[in-house]
Every structure is written in structure tokens, then in C-alpha cells.
Amino acid sequence: MVKYEKHILNNGLKVLAHQDKSTPIAAFNILYDVGAKHEDPEMTGMAHLFEHLMFEGSSNVKEFDTELQNAGGENNAFTSNDITNYYMTLPVNNIETAFYLESDRMFHPLLSEEKLVTQKNVVIEEFKQSYLNQPYGDVLMLLRSLTYKVHPYQWPTIGKNIEHIEKIQMQHVIDFYNKFYKPDNAIIAVAGNISPHDVFMLAEKWFGNIKPSVNAKSILAVEPSQIEKRLLKVERDVPFDEVYLAFHTVERLNNSYYGIDLISDILGTGNSSRLYLELLKEKKLFSQVNAWVSGCTDPGLIVLTGRLIKGVPVENGEKEILQLLNTLKNKTLDNRELQKVKNQIEVSNAYADINALSKAMNLAYYEYIGNADLLNQQNEKYFAVTPEDILKLSQEIFNDSNMSILHYCSK
Amino acid sequence: MTNRSQKPLISNQFEIIALNSEKIKLSNGMPVYFLNEPDHDLIKIEFSFNAGTFYQNKKLTSVVTANLLKEGTKRKTSKEISEIFDYYGVYTSFDPQKDLASIGVFVLEKHLEPVLSLLEEILKEPSFPESELEIYLKNLIQQHIVSLEKVSNVARMQFSKLLFGENHPYGQTLILSDFDNIYKDDIEQFHKKFYNANNVFCIVAGSASDRIAPILEKHFGGNDWLGENNFKKEINSEFPIADKHLFFKDNAVQSAVRVGKIFPGINHPDYHKIMIANVILGGYFGSRLMKNIRQEKGYTYGINSAIVSLVHGSYFFVTSQIGVEFVKNAIEEIYSEISILRTVSADEEEISVVKNYLSGAFLRSFDGVFAKSDRLKELIAFNLDDSHFFNYINTVNSINAEEIMRVADMYFNEKEMTELVVGKL
């Protein structure tokens, strides 16, 4: 249970505070409601590049990292398709430095031509490191563009290609900042040994005078229902074949999300999961298997995948995974198996409650998707799922017309 | 109206934390350390055996032994074991490193008894079924082949060989035929020799010791798994002479670069100072390497340097993945930064930032009971006590530019560095 208090500033900035007396370290998290999905389809990679530029100084802070390190702090950030999230930890005595640094770069980041050029290079190297220079690096890119034809989830946060990153100019960066980096588009969460009252005072002091945005929120295209099976086969310079099966599911706030997440656990979490036990251990078709839900805010995916043992045809792998899905559609699972995946969820939620940083990140995230109270309701939402729910959801989701298949084969 | 140019005051005087662990011995002499944090339901219990790769006579033995513990016992199949662990939601970790092989569980207190009972069974009575060994090796070799496709992995594997030499236990590199040369007998013997109550320590992190001690005594305190613990290993290996190496990879768009050398170990009187010099060079985001090669030149997504301390030998290395067209320039810059570290006195401002950063980082490394258990494991592995941490923080507070330059000049000589590029040069 993460107890917290919430306060909304006049400019719309939401602030959540959780007091944790057990640690001398405080965590400060600021989430901006902007991600790759808000980008111009012809200039993707912008949100993530902008995240890099946020570390390049602001009007009163010449070097962001140096100031933070000087306060004993450490920080990082990530950009997803939905959000951009910045976080730092520092000794609680120096917590005001977090407010000072984050407010200054929200208020007035220094965006120079020279820094833009360097960070474009850094991001291009990141593109190469993560997507081009490693085996299977482009799988998720392929899967996105196969599954989403209309919704902007069709491209990855790094950008569709290197050319998109290259053509971003200073004016685009400024426009992007003006549109999204505003207090009413952000959520702060602080966890540490500091009272909520003090957190709110500091928030008023440092963020209170920043003006809210004037732009209306953009409305995103809705992905239409898929009507027929899609299949993509690619050949790459990799040693072993892989197969991916992806199905469209629901948005994060839909109550069915919990059942679908449990289905992915039944299939792929732990050495007693069905993919692992039946296809890797018993039938010896795969050297590794996995199942996951994409967990994004807008309607997401459930993905089942395996890397085949050398010599096993990729079609066989596909067929066997489909058979496991058929079993889920036709046979109600027993209570013990369902209880197992619920117990796993309980442990992972307990694990997330251990340190200040994960509590601050989670508070901001759940407030973003709807309400921070959801963080404390996760266990009960999962516990409420019944074997009948799993059966019904499997029947709804695991259909040919809702399926995209990727055969990623060795040349 | 807030004056934004008026930045908040900062303090770098923090209370130094002691681990406050409590040590007991079970009836058979096995040491157990408790780190109590009353408010958590989740408990981490970790057994660390002196059974890492250092102790094996044949490659892969240590890794396969640790990972096959859960694949069958005299009374349970692999499937039964995984179903029990999974049912209780347990996170298990089977982590054979160079020195220690650590077997750990994260478990809710309410499930402690059945989980520890199963852990006892897999640690004491694994049966290492042939069929499971076969599946495991088949999957492992595929994993290994894929990892060879990544330049960073190849660099990591080859670099220890270049530093320590192939005959040193830390210098072993896998080749594909090693996977055909490991047998059930090897595993059984390794287990019999190294997995015993006298060759292990246990750390329990997260809950009250008085409730857990009796359960541990019941499962692990008996005389049914006694053994030896004094393993002497002759190392007759001279370290290879520093040289420049290239592993060509035709389709690389980035090359993995490593530059480094053998370094003094954790017990050396200059150790803490060397660590601090390394941080300035490449040990944090604001480091000189990061500023120069990523932030100013944009040659890479990231560059770091680190000192790896092992029980029987330590080393320093710089590591990065660099766009192939920038590799030559980047390597020059690495040497140039090392040379500056040795020959030019750091300014006061940089030293003060590093000191403040390290004080905060020190505090952060004790954040939460699981982080503390990692720090404690480090102390036990190297036979150190809390004073190691106090000496470190005193060194951070008292070190000056002169001392940093002195140790840099003594240990970071760029002419003694081994250099490796995997990809293209």
C-alpha cells in the first residue's frame, strides 16, 4: 500500500507525494503526457530526441547533470509511445535541487543548434546500437508496422528510420516544446522522507509561475478492427528462426486488461508456463519462448513468441503455439493454475513497493492513466479474474482475423 | 515570484550508514547474516557458494551445475519443481559468477516453509537427469551463438582472455566444442565438492530473524551436507603483454571497443583512490569520457569505464560501442583522456562535484534492504567488514587533486593498456 496525497497547482500541474521514512534517499519523478504517438508521422523520433535535449541545460542551469551530481543525485529518463518520463534520486536533504532543476528545464530549456546536431548524432548511434547492430534488433519495429496500420503505435520511439531523425530542425524542436512541455501536461510524484506539505510548498515555489499551455490536446487516430489474418516473412542475417504471433487487445483502463495480462503469464511466465513446459521442454521445438502484453494506454497487443531449435520449421512452431491458444479457448483452466499467476503478480507488486524510486514512478504513471489510487488496487483487480473470464477473453482475442504473424528467418 | 537564479543550498554531509547485519551460525557451522527491515512482506534469501567459474577444471561446469539444480531431484521432476516455485510466485535466481555461485529466492513470508523445503531439496539432492542436461545444453548453445552476433558480447568475452591469458581461470573463453564436452559426471562431482554447508554463506534480507532462523536451522543446519571449503588453486599464468587487437566483423555498423589493464585489487591501500580516479575518467554520466566522446562529439550512445574487483585478480576497462566511422578518433580521445588524468591536475570544481556525487551514490547503494544485501555480500566475499565502507567515504572526503594525479600516473599508464576492437577499425 502506497499512501499518498495529491495537490493540483493553479497552472494545472499535478503533484503527488508519498512519505517514506525508511530511506535517506528521495525520488522525484516527472511524467510528461507526450510520447512517440504524438509525433508527426513524417518526422518520427521527435519525442525521444527531445528527451535527450532536456539534459542540455536551461536558462539558469548550465549543466543539468553537473548540478544534480553536485547534489549527490543521479537521474535518467525514458520515452515510450505514450509518455516521456524523467526521474532522479538524491539525498532527501537536497530534494529542493530536484524541484529547481526540473522546473528550470520545463520553464526554459536552452535549445541550441550545436546541441541539436550532437544529440541527433547520439540518437543515431543509439538507433544503430539498439536496432541495427544486433541480431533480431528490428523485430519490434516490424511487428509494430504489421499490427498498426492507422494508429501511431505503428512506429517505435527511436523513430521509423534514421532519415527522420536527421531532418529534424530547430523550429520543429521549439514547436514541440511549446506544445507539450507545459505544467498542465505533466505529473510530478515525490517519494522519500519529506512531508506532503513540504512537497507541495516546493512545487508551488518552483513550478507555480510557469504558464499552462494554450494548445488543445491532439486527437489520435483510432486503429480499426483487423478483419483478416496478416503474415509477414522476412529473412535476416541471424543464426536461428523466430516466430511471433500478435493479437489486438484492449486499452489499459479496460477491465479486461487484467485477464489478458494473466493469459500472457499463463502462457509465458516461469518455467511451468505453458509455452515453456509444453513447447520448449516437452516438444523441444524452441530454445526460448516468451509472452507479453504491450501495456500501453491505447488498445494494445498480446504477443506470443519463440526462437526455434535449429532444423525445426517455423511453420511448426507457429502451429504448436496456435494449438496452445486453442486449448485456452476450449478448456476452462483449473483454479490452481490461475491462482499461480495471481501469486506471481502479488510478489511482483510487493517487489515494486520496495524502493522510493519505483513508488514515485508508479504513482505518476497510474495518475497518468487515470488515478493514482489504481496503484493500490492492482492486486484486487487481478485477484478478481475468474477461469471463465480467461476462457471468454481467449475466445474473443485468439482468432485468425485478429492475428498478425511474423516469421523472422535466418538467411 | 521565485528568483530562479537563486539555487537551493546543498549539503553533502550525510549520516554514514552501517549495515547492522546480525550474524548467526547454524549447528553445522554455516554462517547466516540477517538484514532486518520489518515493514516488508517480501524476503530475499540467498546462498552464495564458492563455486563460480574460478573453481571449475572444465569450462561450463559451474554454470551448468548451478542452472541444473532446479531440473530434477531424487524425488521430484523438473516440472514438479517449477510448478511449486511458480505457484508460490517465487523469483528464483541461479547466478554463477566468476567467484561465487549464488542461488537466491524472493519469497513472501507466508510461503516461506514450502519454498525453503524445496530449496533444501534442490541444493542437497539434485539428480541432474541426462535428458534435462541435453535440453539445457542445446538451448544454451543457441543462446551462445546468438550472443556472438553482438559485438559488445564478443568484446566482453575476448577481453578477459586478452588480459588474464587463456590459462588463467578468469581468462577462459567458450568455444563451441566446449558444449559437447560436458557430462553428467562433471556436474555431479562439481556439486558434490562445492555445494556444501561449509563452503557457503547465506544472507536473509527483509524480515525478522527470530521467525526465520528456526526454519533455516531445520532445513540447512544438519550434518547431512558437510564438506570442505579450503580450495587452493595453482595459477601458473603470466599475464599476456599489452597489445592492440582487432576482431573483424564485416557487417558491423558499430564497433565494440575495450581498453584496459590488470589493476590492484580491493585490498590494496590505494584501492579507494583508484576507484575515485576511475569515476572522474568514466565512472558516471558527467565523466570526462562521456562529456568528450558522447556529449561533445556524438560518437557513441554511451561510454564508461569501470574497475572489476574479483577475489583473485582485478582489472580496469573502458567500454563503448562506437559508429565504425568514428572508431579511430574515439580511441585517440580515450588515450588522450587517460593521459590528461595522469598529467594534469583536476580543478577544484570538478573534484567537488565528484565528491558530492560519490557521497550521494554511496548513500543510494544502501537504499532498501535488497541493495544492502548486495553490499553485504561484497564484504563477505572479500572478507572485509564495515570499516571498508568507512575508509571509502573518508577517502572520498579527504582526497585532493594531487593524490588523484599520483594514483592515475601510477596505475593508468596508457602504454600498458590492452586494446580490443570488435567490428571494424
Does the pLDDT value for residue B409 go beyond 70? yes
Stretch B27-38: mean pLDDT: 92
In chain B, pLDDT over 70 holds for what percent of residues?
A: 99
- Residue in chain A closest to B324 (alpha carbons) equals A125
- Mutation pick from B43, B303, B364, B365 vs chain A, by most beta carbons of A within 10 Å, is B364
Lowest-confidence region among A26-40, A212-226, B150-164, B293-307? A212-226
The three-class DSSP label of residue A165 is helix
Compute how many other C-beta atoms are within 10 angstroms of the C-beta atom of residue B11.
Answer: 12
Residue B239 lies in a domain: no
Say yes or no: B85 and B120 in one domain. Answer: yes
Compute how many other C-beta atoms are within 10 angstroms of the C-beta atom of residue B350.
Answer: 15
Question: pLDDT value at position A22?
Answer: 85
Is there a contact between B367 and A70 if contact means CB atoms under 8 Å apart?
no
Question: pLDDT value at position A216?
Answer: 63
Does the pLDDT value for residue B29 go beyond 80? yes
B235 grid coordinates: 595459477
Alpha-carbon gap, residue A90 to B364, rounded angstroms: 8
Say yes or no: B329 and B381 in one domain. Answer: yes
Say yes or no: B217 and B285 in one domain. Answer: no
Distances (CA, A) of A53 to A115, B192, B281, B321, B336: 7, 56, 23, 21, 27
Stretch B413-419: mean pLDDT: 95
Is there a contact between B40 and A350 if contact means CB atoms under 8 Å apart?
yes
List, in sequence order, every beta strand (DSSP E) within B120-243. 200-205
Say yes or no: B200 and B261 in one domain. Answer: no
Is there a contact between A354 and B353 if contact means CB atoms under 8 Å apart?
no
As a CATH number, domain A5-207 is 3.30.830.10
Say yes or no: B154 and B74 in one domain. Answer: yes
Alpha-carbon gap, residue B321 to B222, rounded angstroms: 50
Residues B190, B195, B199, B205, CA torsion sign = positive
Does the pLDDT value for residue B26 go beyond 70? yes
B78-87 vs A335-352: helix crossing angle, rounded to 10: 60
List, in sequence order, every beta strand (DSSP E) within A249-368. 286-293, 301-308
What's the pLDDT tens digit per position in B313-337? 999 999 999 999 999 999 999 999 9
The domain of B293 spans 244-423
Q: Which residues pair with A8 in a beta bridge?
A: A14
Compute how many other C-beta atoms are within 10 angstroms of the C-beta atom of residue A353.
Answer: 18
Residue B11 lies in a domain: no
Say yes or no: B262 and B203 in one domain. Answer: no
Say yes or no: B182 and B68 in one domain. Answer: yes
A93 vs B11, B83, B108: nearest CB: B11
Q: Give domain A230-410's CATH number out of 3.30.830.10, 3.40.1010.10, 3.30.70.1230, 3.40.50.2300.
A: 3.30.830.10
Say if strands B254-263 and B22-25 run parallel, antiparallel, or are unpaired: unpaired
Q: Tell me the ipTM for this assembly.
A: 0.92
Residue B3 lies in a domain: no
Question: pLDDT value at position A353?
Answer: 84
Residue B1 lies in a domain: no
Alpha-carbon gap, residue B298 to B20, rounded angstroms: 45
Say yes or no: B215 and B250 in one domain. Answer: no
What's the pLDDT tens digit per position in B342-366? 999 999 999 999 999 999 999 999 8
Q: Which residues of chain A have pLDDT under 70?
A: 215-216
Mean pLDDT for chain B?
Answer: 94
Question: pLDDT value at position B210?
Answer: 81
A271 CB within 8 Å of a chain B CB = yes
Question: pLDDT value at position A58?
Answer: 96
> What CATH number should be reported for the domain holding residue B64?
3.30.830.10
Is there a contact between A344 and B86 if contact means CB atoms under 8 Å apart?
yes
A126 contacts in chain B (CB < 8 Å): 301
> Of B56, B52, B50, which is closest to residue B31 (Cα–Cα)?
B50
Alpha-carbon gap, residue A162 to A238, rounded angstroms: 22
Say yes or no: B330 and B217 in one domain. Answer: no
A343 vs B88, B285, B356: nearest CB: B88
Does the pLDDT value for residue B136 go beyond 70? yes
The number of helices, as runs of H, and strands, as runs of E, in chain B is 14, 11
Question: pLDDT value at position A217?
Answer: 72
Residues A392, A397, A401, A405, CA torsion sign = negative
Beta carbons of A64 and A77 less than 8 angstroms apart? no
Residue B127 lies in a domain: yes
Stretch B293-302: mean pLDDT: 93
Alpha-carbon gap, residue B4 to A99, rounded angstroms: 11
- Mutation pick from A3, A22, A69 vs chain B, by most beta carbons of B within 10 Å, is A69
Please state the separation of Cα B315 from the chain's center in Å. 13
Beta carbons of B408 and B277 less than 8 angstroms apart? yes
Continuous H helices in B300-347: 327-343
CATH 3.30.830.10 domain extents, chain A: 5-207, 230-410
Beta carbons of A134 and B301 less than 8 angstroms apart? no
Question: pLDDT value at position A339?
Answer: 98
Is there a contact between B89 and A344 if contact means CB atoms under 8 Å apart?
yes
Say yes or no: B164 and B90 in one domain. Answer: yes
Question: pLDDT value at position B368?
Answer: 85
Count how many domains chain B has: 2
